[in-house]
Structure 1
Amino acid sequence: MTFTVDQLNRILGFSMSDEQLAAVTADLDIPLLVVAGAGSGKTTVMAARVLWAVGTQQCAPDEIVGLTFTKKAAGELGSRIRQLLEKLFDDYPPVGFDGEPGSPLVSTYHAFAHQFVAEHGLRIGVEPGARLLSETESLQEAYRVVVNTEYPLTGVGLAPVKLAEVVVKLDQQLSEHLATP
């Protein structure tokens, strides 16, 4: 049996707009960017895309990773995906399916990166116990380095606290561009 758009809409409980449907059914091998304002249905589209991918047997639920920026969004997305997959497996079990469907991994970017480093960090020379510093911890560490440096910083023209802020901002910009000092 082939999973159809009508079946997708029945599970969702409504018909998606043409734009939403295009995003949901787009080729999984091509990266997809959805840009939309708050409350416009991005979470619904992401959850429906998972439903479509599993329903059309392009992948199993446990082969999916969903990443968001906030814990609240990750919780919402994970909950919605679980509900939709439960309906899918109850109403339209994929052909040949004979067991527990497994679950997608839904997390924040930071939590996913932390888990990844904990499990695989040694392969790239990073200690498994390494963790990201909070913004406050980063500023404190930069301040400690600035005030304890053996080089005179009087010519910089910035107070130590301000210089520490500049160091943290520079570090963030370098990290965003995968550059090192």
Structure 2
Amino acid sequence: MTSSQILQNLNPAQNDAVIHRGGPMLVVAGAGSGKTRVLTHRIAHLIEQDNVNPFQILAITFTNKAAQEMKDRVAALVGPVAENMWVSTFHSACVRMLRRDAEQLGYPRAFSIYDQADAVRLTGYVIRDLGLDTKKFVARSIHAQISNLKNELVESQSALDNAASIFERKIAEIYSEYQRRLRVAGAMDFDDLLTVTVELFRNHSNTLAHYQERFQHVLVDEYQDTNPAQNEIVLKLGDRHRNVFVVGDSDQSVYAFRGADIRNILDFEKAFPDTGIVVLDQNYRSTQTILDAANSVIANNYGRKPKDLWTDKSAGDKIVLYR
């Protein structure tokens, strides 16, 4: 596919993002601005015009459905070579790496993965065996707190050392025993897939170097929804070649309750001071009346990357408030 075909029907901002010559790039993508098109055409441009081996591309998104859609769209542009890329969720990518290298941390290569139900059940067993009040220490709630600690890269001993109350101390004790039992079982929960990968990269430089060389281009969708563990994985993988291409929108950060940290996108330029920035502010989904209202409301939020969405559609109907 020619460059003109890849760039066909892109607006100027989308075009600038797709043809970026390399190095770190932050694409601030407003709602309905065509960010998936930018990501897929960026990958196609890397393969077809920059002669990047698809084997050296890692593209990350947050759902299996989105990952499959991205791979299908890239395949439609570049053909079967798209199969050589890694296009996956964070957790799926980490599983593939850990199946190869978790033995370096004492895990069996065929480690088990506890799903949410398994993890909550194990938490309940720990609470029971520690003789704690199961009405005060509800397994699902306690596991959610353990999950938050893991996503913030807080280990059980650190949680214990920094406990500010008896209740927090008990949570740390549950966390410690929960983690011990996972290790004895040769298992990880979903959060461990991230945190153990971080541990692997921190403590085994040769393994990190292997993946840094393998993935010379790292692209991440919905970057505003990354948690500290996911952010560290991205930064470590991209530290050698620095071809880190992230797409996100601080105005659409809605997963703080799941550990997402908006500072990851707001501080991306601190990690990579030479970051190129492209703002996708043309909206293809809404009328200008709706966009004006949205711009007016979100302008009151100072913790954001500024942009004003616009469209070439008509103004549309007035907004009606029903009481």
Normalised-by-shorter TM-score class: 0.7 to 0.9
Counterpart among 124, 128, 132 of residue 153 in structure 1? 132
Q: Residues 103 and 138 from structure 1, CA distance in 2 versus in 1: closer, same or farther, beyond 3 angstroms?
A: same
1:120-159 aligned at under 5 Å gives the runs 120-149=101-130, 152-154=131-133, 159=135
Q: Residues 35 and 139 from structure 1, CA distance in 2 versus in 1: closer, same or farther, beyond 3 angstroms?
A: farther
Counterpart among 55, 65, 70 of residue 63 in structure 2? 70
Looking at structure 2, the residues matched to 33 and 128 of structure 1 have their Cα atoms a distance apart, in angstroms, of 37
Cα RMSD (Å): 2.7
Letter in 1 for 2:132: L
Give the match for residue 16 of structure 2.
Answer: 22
Give how far 1:47 is off. 0.9
Counterpart among 5, 8, 19 of residue 3 in structure 2? 8
Q: Please list every run of 5 or more consecutive structure 2 residues that lacks an aligned counterpart in the other structure.
A: 157-323
Q: Residues 148 and 101 from structure 1, CA distance in 2 versus in 1: closer, same or farther, beyond 3 angstroms?
A: closer
Give deviations 1:18-77, integer Å, cap 9, x for gaps.
Answer: 22223222343215355443x542221111111121233252111111122111111111
Give the match for residue 176 of structure 1.
Answer: 151
Partner-residue secondary structure (3-state), 1:32: strand
Aligned length: 156
Looking at structure 1, the residues matched to 33 and 104 of structure 2 have their Cα atoms a distance apart, in angstroms, of 41
Looking at structure 1, the residues matched to 114 and 147 of structure 2 have their Cα atoms a distance apart, in angstroms, of 12
Between the two proteins, what is the percent identity of the paired residues?
A: 22
TM-score by length of 2: 0.43
Looking at structure 2, the residues matched to 132 and 33 of structure 1 have their Cα atoms a distance apart, in angstroms, of 34
Relative contact order, CA 8 A, sep 6+: which one is greater?
Answer: 2
Q: Please list every run of 5 or more consecutive structure 1 residues that lacks an aligned counterpart in the other structure.
A: 88-99
CA contact (8 A) 1:117 1:130 kept: no
Looking at structure 1, the residues matched to 21 and 111 of structure 2 have their Cα atoms a distance apart, in angstroms, of 36
CA contact (8 A) 1:23 1:34 kept: no
CA contact (8 A) 2:119 2:143 kept: yes
Give how far 1:101 is off. 8.1
Partner-residue secondary structure (3-state), 1:138: helix
Looking at structure 2, the residues matched to 60 and 176 of structure 1 have their Cα atoms a distance apart, in angstroms, of 32
Give deviations 1:150-175, integer Å, cap 9, x for gaps.
Answer: xx434xxx616x53223212221122
Give the match for residue 60 of structure 1.
Answer: 53
Q: Residues 131 and 40 from structure 1, CA distance in 2 versus in 1: closer, same or farther, beyond 3 angstroms?
A: farther
